[in-house]
Amino acid sequence: MIRLGTGRLERIVAVGAHCDDIAIGAGGTLLSLCRARPGLRVDALVLSGGGTEREQEEQEALAAFCPGADLRLTVDKMPDGRLPAHWADAKAAVEELRARTEPDLVLAPRTEDAHQDHRGLAELMTTAFRDHLVLGYEIVKWDGDLGRPVVYQPLTPGAAEDKVRLLQEHYPSQRHRPWYDREAFLGLARIRGIESNARYAEAFAVTKLTVDLGG
């Protein structure tokens, strides 16, 4: 398995169309990075859920997923499932985030995601952060849109278990969903671990990547 490093990360941007997207797609990666690098700056943007119980869930959840980090979270009020109709507002939110951040890594939805909100945000991110490493996380759901990832972040068993526990603990509003359970989250992490020669992993898509091989 080929392993490439990014050097020391100081700043991360993480975005989601909905509260819980970031934690589902990249919660284990955030846990691992923040535990390894106390004081890491994390700028997070969520486009929907502002002013509802979901905003409170997201604030508490991301604080738990980013222990010791300098977390700065914005939760906007765009309606769930209607991002295409609010394209100008979504673009403005992403551009405002870009104007105040210069991240070493960006975590965002995949451009191939079947959900229109996820897909739309992904398209905005690769344009606004065109000179940055943007990793597209995956969200398991009924659409059956999981693809063939090319980037993996191995997770220790402890990090994988902590991710599942925090998802169940901090998002009670989502527990009624038939796919929102321990088996789904840990099962996908195990499959991605097999693919990357690890016990567990989170997987990402990347649209463009420049490498410096030296010489």
pLDDT mean for each 10 residues of the chain (215 residues): 69 97 98 96 97 96 98 94 90 96 96 94 94 94 89 97 97 92 96 97 90 71
Cβ contacts of residue 184 below 8 Å, gap of 6+? 140
Distances (CA, A) of 9 to 29, 102, 104, 215: 13, 11, 6, 24
- Region of 68 please: left (phi>0), alpha (psi -120 to 50) or beta: left
pLDDT of residue 3: 63
Residue 46 domain-assigned (yes or no): yes
CA distance 115 to 16: 12
Residue for token pair 């490439």: 4
The partner residues of 46 in beta bridges, in order of sequence, read 16, 75
Stretch (H or E) spanning 95: helix 87-99
Domain count, the chain: 1
Residue 72 domain-assigned (yes or no): yes
pLDDT digits (tens, 9 = 90+) for 155-169: 999 999 999 999 999
Domain of 20 in residue numbering reads as 9-204
Pick the closest to residue 183 from 198, 201, 168 (CA basis).
168
Q: What phi and psi, each to the nearest 5 degrees, are found at residue 167?
A: -60, -45
DSSP 57: H
CA distance 4 to 15: 23
Residue 4 domain-assigned (yes or no): no
Residue 192 domain-assigned (yes or no): yes
Residue 121 domain-assigned (yes or no): yes
Are 192 and 145 in contact by the 8 Å Cβ rule? The answer is no
Residue 2 domain-assigned (yes or no): no
CA distance 75 to 91: 15
Cβ contacts of residue 111 below 8 Å, gap of 6+? 119, 122, 123, 126, 136, 205, 207
Give the predicted TM-score (pTM) of the model. 0.94
pLDDT of residue 80: 87
pLDDT of residue 207: 85
Q: The domain spanning residue 85 has which CATH number?
A: 3.40.50.10320
